[in-house]
Chain A
Amino acid sequence: MRFDYLEPHTIKEAVSLLSTYNGQAKVIAGGTDLMNLIRTKMIKPEYIVDIGHIAGLDYVKYGDKGALSIGALTTIRAIEMSAQLKERHPVVSQAAGQLGSMAIRNVGTIGGNLCNAAPCAETAPSLIGLGAALKIVGPAGERTVTLEDFFTGPGQTVLQRGELVVEIQVPSQPPHTRGVYLKHSVRGTEDLAIVGVAAIATLEGERCRNVKIVLGAVAPIPMRARNAEGKLEGKEIDDALIENAAQAASDESQPITDVRASADYRKEMVKVFTRQAIRGVVPTPMHRAFCGTG
């Protein structure tokens, strides 16, 4: 591998460099994904733009009305360990904790995990489920894109020439909103997910609203399982509904067979993990009777 190393100190400089060297330059933040792509010759950039020297992009903060913003350079480990996130958006820190080993999480960033656009990106399903959006700065100024619309294919996003993701924005959630992210892999957090499932819902008494089921690693991009969501939306959840939703998620997933698992196995596991994820979020009458929760 050979490349020139460029180190902008401001967002403006970074955008200018990325515009100038469009198509020849790659952004490096932590580099845990990028270095692998370069070392395996999947990509051969002529320039590396290291945004790690840009100050003020490493933060987790809450606005007055409960909206969350996370700087693009915040490490996965910082998100995993953030006391604020654990309390207010636990599903985000929980998903972060499942990404790779501690040494990878110490370096890898949330912006990098999303912009690398792997179908199995660990942080994507829960953030999509929470309605997150990305603040993007480019030559023409700023724009905001929902995370759901950000991915266009494996390794592909809507980012245009010179554009840089600078912040992840998560709207405030209604009270009694709960979320769970489950990852299925052979080697725990170390391995990439065979299937990832985020389930998020707002509990209104016995009913379940704003249901989001988001699947990772079973389609070209992290995908909403809208049919599964539809089975649960506004309903009082029981085991039969959960089963219907899990089946729907499995049916609408579009996995491929690769080195980690076959497409058939993935479809089966979507059903299993969607079922578990929903059960983690919504206490059913049976659970309430036995566990006294809800």
Chain B
Amino acid sequence: MKQLITLRVNGIDEELYVEPWWTLSRVLREELDLIGTKEGCGSGDCGSCTVLIDGKAVMSCLYLAMKARGKNIMTIEGLNGENGALHPLQETFIEHFAVQCGYCVPGMIMTAKAMLDENPKPTEEEVRTGLSGNLCRCTGYVKIVEAVLSSAEKQGN
């Protein structure tokens, strides 16, 4: 039976009815129309569904919506720079041509944000390790890593 719950998504409290078995990725995409979050494998292997929960990167395809009550959920739609501009990560992904088909990018950027929030000056090795749970089937990793490193540099200034 559906239950009425409140989810705090990108700073807004959303009231909605969910089935207890609905995953967060399903609710974000199909109930809240936040289709920036992608679902790839549905088994926690590819990282394309990554969102932030209380600032930490989480695979939303394995996370029950019921478990997300009372937490701060951030999706790619909630990522902003100053004064409505793009977030530095979004800018550097564009500058470095780090987007090919684009399917992995929301997950890549959310993981990169969680990583940079914790470690603002990562080495290239740390970026590669940090992003290792996010697969890009266009295999555009070089430019993605460059974009994240460049973003770290910009944000450090």
Interface residues of A (CB under 8 A from B): 1-5, 7, 28, 31-32, 35-36, 38-40, 48, 50, 52, 77, 100-104, 106-107, 188-190
CB contact between B59 and one of A32, A40, A52, A189 (< 8 Å): that residue: A32
Contacts A4-B20, A50-B67; A107 near B133 (Cβ below 8 A): no
B1-27 residues at the A interface, CB under 8 angstroms: 3, 19-21, 23
In the assembled complex, the CB of B121 is this many whole angstroms from the nearest CB of chain A, namely 17
Chain B 124-137 interface mask (CB, 8 Å, partner A; 1/0) = 00000010111000
| Residue pair A103, B50 in contact (C-beta under 8 Å) | yes
Which of chain A's residues have a CB closer than 8 A to the CB of B132?
A: 101, 188-190
Give the residue name and chain of the A residue nearest to B54 (CB): A106
| A40 CA to B133 CA, complexed, in Å | 20
In the assembled complex, the CB of B128 is this many whole angstroms from the nearest CB of chain A, namely 10
| A101 CA to B43 CA, complexed, in Å | 12
Which of chain B's residues have a CB closer than 8 A to the CB of A5?
A: 3, 20-21, 64, 66
| Residue pair A100, B44 in contact (C-beta under 8 Å) | yes
Give the residue name and chain of the A residue nearest to B135 (CB): A190
Interface residue tally on B, bucketed by range:
20 to 34
A-B contact pairs, 11 of them (CB 8 A): A32-B44, A38-B21, A39-B42, A48-B64, A50-B64, A102-B57, A102-B111, A103-B57, A104-B44, A104-B133, A107-B63
| Residue pair A102, B67 in contact (C-beta under 8 Å) | no
Is B56 an interface residue, CB under 8 A from the partner?
yes
Which of chain A's residues have a CB closer than 8 A to the CB of B45?
A: 190
Which of chain B's residues have a CB closer than 8 A to the CB of A7?
A: 66
| Residue pair B62, A107 in contact (C-beta under 8 Å) | yes
Which of chain B's residues have a CB closer than 8 A to the CB of A107?
A: 58-59, 62-63
Is B79 an interface residue, CB under 8 A from the partner?
no
Give the residue name and chain of the B residue nearest to A106 (CB): B56
In the assembled complex, the CB of A217 is this many whole angstroms from the nearest CB of chain B, namely 17
| A279 CA to B132 CA, complexed, in Å | 28
B contact patch SS: mixed
| Residue pair A101, B133 in contact (C-beta under 8 Å) | yes
Give the residue name and chain of the A residue nearest to B59 (CB): A103
Contacts A5-B20, A102-B130, A190-B133; A35 near B111 (Cβ below 8 A): no
| Residue pair B21, A36 in contact (C-beta under 8 Å) | no
Which of chain A's residues have a CB closer than 8 A to the CB of B44?
A: 32, 35-36, 100-101, 103-104
Give the residue name and chain of the A residue nearest to B49 (CB): A103
Is B47 an interface residue, CB under 8 A from the partner?
yes
| Residue pair A50, B66 in contact (C-beta under 8 Å) | yes
CB contact between A36 and one of B19, B43, B47, B57 (< 8 Å): that residue: B43
| A106 CA to B61 CA, complexed, in Å | 14
Is B34 an interface residue, CB under 8 A from the partner?
no
Is B35 an interface residue, CB under 8 A from the partner?
no
| Residue pair A3, B21 in contact (C-beta under 8 Å) | yes
Give the residue name and chain of the A residue nearest to B22 (CB): A1
Is B99 an interface residue, CB under 8 A from the partner?
no
In the assembled complex, the CB of B45 is this many whole angstroms from the nearest CB of chain A, namely 7
CB contact between A104 and one of B3, B59, B64, B67 (< 8 Å): that residue: B59
Contacts A2-B21, A102-B133, A190-B133; A52 near B111 (Cβ below 8 A): no
| Residue pair A35, B64 in contact (C-beta under 8 Å) | yes
Which of chain B's residues have a CB closer than 8 A to the CB of A38?
A: 21
| Residue pair B62, A36 in contact (C-beta under 8 Å) | yes
| A44 CA to B5 CA, complexed, in Å | 24
